[in-house]
Amino acid sequence: MRALTLVADRKLELVEVPAPPAPGAGEVQVRVKAVGLNYLDVWGFRGMAFVKRKLPLVVGAEAAGVVAAVGPEVTSVAVGDPVVMYGGLSCGVCKACREVRDNLCENIGGIMGFHVDGFARDLVNMPARLVIKTPPGIAMRDAACAPIAFATVERMLFDNARLLSGETILVHAGGSGIGSDAIKMAKQIGCTVITTVGDDAKAEKAKALGR
């Protein structure tokens, strides 16, 4: 199968790699349909991995696809379901993971596409708990942008800050991806949003999001 691979700093190649085996117990095999482009991808492309890693490395930190096969004991998704995947390889057994706070995993295995092989390949096997079925009507290219930016905002605004309808929120860097998503999600539940931006053009974009 094909995989978009970083073979050296700032050098990408589309290469042939072995297909994954059939999914094991608790695993899901996903046929990748769209891959998001995130700052993590840019940092990795420039060699800013912060920890030692091995090349070649399949890139892609977030993606969307369709379930191609499921392993034994998987009931959360079925073959043909559209899904997104969480690329932080949390252990699933530590206290944080058991509390569904995988971002604080004590035994994180790395971020896909940054520390370990990522999603920019035809097929990928994932733990079923890191695969989420997407709602009907969501385009693959839109779903592929959700796992990092929207999940980050959801965690910070709703899980941590407990944001409620009618409240006022300050969003820094409203022109950024995270800032834009925060504006959208806060406005969606009826909040008043105040934001900071770096220039007039970003201010106009932020105003348009808040209407």
Q: Where are the domains of the chain?
A: 2-138
CB of 123 closer than 8 Å to CB of 32: yes
Distance CA 63, CA 124 (A): 11
CA angle 48, 51, 57 (to 5 degrees): 70
The tens place of each residue's pLDDT in the chain, 211 residues long, gives 999 999 998 999 999 999 999 999 999 999 999 999 988 898 888 887 666 678 999 999 999 999 999 999 999 999 999 999 999 999 999 999 999 888 889 999 999 999 999 999 999 999 999 999 999 999 999 999 999 989 899 989 999 999 999 999 999 999 998 999 999 999 999 999 999 999 999 999 999 987 6
Q: Which CATH superfamily is domain 2-138 in?
A: Medium-chain alcohol dehydrogenases, catalytic domain (3.90.180.10)
Distance CA 170, CA 172 (A): 6
In 3-state terms the chain splits into helix, strand, coil percentages (rounded to 5) of: 30, 25, 45
